[in-house]
């Protein structure tokens, strides 16, 4: 295992979970500045 590879693996999984939360926003009231900041930080 390369450390960078491991980091990218965890990071992408985290991004996926975040995107999942954001797309389900209408169900959970998670459409907050935090979600938006996360998207901006990723993009």
Per the structure, the count of domains in the chain is: 1
Q: How far apart are CA 28 and CA 8, in angstroms?
A: 28
Note down the domain range covering 27: 3-42
15 vs 5, higher pLDDT: 5
Provide the sign of the torsion angle of the four alpha carbons 9, 10, 13, 14, taken in this order.
negative
Average pLDDT of the chain is 70
pLDDT at 10 exceeding the cut of 80: yes
Q: How far apart are CA 25 and CA 29, in angstroms?
A: 6
36 vs 28, higher pLDDT: 36
For the chain, first and last CA: distance in Å? 27
- Among residues 17, 22, 20, the alpha carbon closest in space to that of 36 is found at 22
* 27 phi and psi angles, rounded to 5 deg: -80, -45
């Amino acid at each position: 295992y390369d450390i960078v590879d491991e980091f990218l693996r965890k990071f992408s999984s985290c991004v996926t979970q975040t995107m999942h939360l954001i797309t389900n926003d209408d169900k959970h009231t998670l459409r907050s500045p935090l979600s938006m900041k996360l998207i901006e930080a990723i993009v």
